[in-house]
Amino acid sequence: MIKQQLKQALLSSGVLRLAGRLHGKGAAILMYHSVLEDPGSVADSLGGMIHPRPIFEGQMELLAREFHPVSLDQVGRFVSGEEELPERAVVVTFDDGYADNFEMAMPILDRLGVPAAFYVTVDCVESRRLPWPSRLRYSFRKTARKEWKGEAAKVWNLGSEREREAAYLAACDRVAMLAGAEQERVVSHIEFDLGTMLPAESGDLMMNWGQVRGLAQGGHIVGSHTMTHPNLAHVGVEDARRELVESKRRMEAHINAKVVHFSYPCPALFPNWNEQTTEESQRAGYETAVTTSSGLARRNDNPLALKRVRPSKTVDGLRWNLETAFAGREV
Ligand SMILES: [Zn+2]
């Protein structure tokens, strides 16, 4: 309560805005995933990355009212010194490629004139399947098994919710280092061991190509989020190259336009980018790439390793995260 009052006092005093001005210009690239009317209905697969629709709408109204929504292309040109940005510039981005991005988020964005960028996990769109972290979350939460044998024959108890979560995170650390067919082999093996898997209709939560095209035709940016959602900083260079190149190629064929924006998946392990991945993403033909490191995008930053800001799950939380990010905080 006291903390809340302190935050409110800081926000209304103007101190943060002043600090922001002293800190110089930058853009806050916000990272969203999913927007749903009833987040509880898919909590066992998507977990905590869903924004309830009314909160998302309130957050977008805040951006339109108190900040300056700009496009990712503008930020790319700002970072490389070709263009100026307005004060308090914000960019809305979505990772993974959920159908609700098209169905729920786009109408709100368009009503308010907020441009956004949507990063698509190509194999998930084509196979009608959720990204693997959601598949594993579901299996670990729903399994009737009492234990699971992980790497190096380590036995994980699955009795309590906490133990299930710990085993799930260990599995994520392992799968995050795998891509393509090998990743699929290990994920389906774990699903088999746990004796339960996400129902096939959960694939309807992913966009189809028609919806991806609809976003692009609506004036929004669509970019790649890899083929199979590995942590690119933790896979071999051949796998990383394939994820970058093949996802771009397939997206371009389906939307009939150039794809020059990329988002590094961060399913587990940190960081999710390094010098090699930025070089490979440039070689593949990308012009910008966003990470999950926190902070603003600033002039002369590497455009292939742009920081982002987490939006929080409330309107006040978003205002606080933005004001403190503009004031120079990088958490
Ligand atoms: Zn992702």
Task: Write the pLDDT tens digit of every residue in 233-279.
Answer: 999 999 999 999 999 999 999 999 999 999 999 888 889 999 999 99
Tell me how far the alpha carbon of residue 265 lies from the centroid of ligand 1, in angstroms.
4
Same domain, 37 and 183: no
Tell me how far the alpha carbon of residue 320 lies from the centroid of ligand 1, in angstroms.
24
Q: H or E stretch including 149?
A: strand 147-149
Packing angle of the helix pair 15-23, 2-13 (nearest 10 deg): 60
Instruction: Say whether pLDDT at 2 is over 70.
Output: no
Q: What's this model's pTM, rounded to 2 decimal places?
A: 0.93
For residue 217, tell me if it sits in a domain: yes
Taking alpha carbons only, the member of 230, 227, 237 closest to residue 275 is 237
Same domain, 139 and 253: no
3-state secondary structure of 32: strand
Range of 175's domain? Answer: 132-194
Tell me how far the alpha carbon of residue 94 lies from the centroid of ligand 1, in angstroms.
9
Number of domains in the chain: 2
Tell me how far the alpha carbon of residue 234 lies from the centroid of ligand 1, in angstroms.
15
For residue 8, tell me if it sits in a domain: no
Tell me how far the alpha carbon of residue 229 lies from the centroid of ligand 1, in angstroms.
6
For residue 3, tell me if it sits in a domain: no
Ion ligand 1: protein residues whose beta carbon lies under 5 Å: 95-96, 265
Tell me how far the alpha carbon of residue 97 lies from the centroid of ligand 1, in angstroms.
8
CATH of the domain at 220: 3.20.20.370
Mean pLDDT of the 303-320 span: 96
Same domain, 114 and 150: no
Beta-carbon count within 10 A of 139 CB: 26
Same domain, 176 and 237: no
Same domain, 238 and 278: yes
Q: Are 25 and 79 in contact (CB under 8 A)?
A: no
Mean pLDDT of the residues in the chain: 93
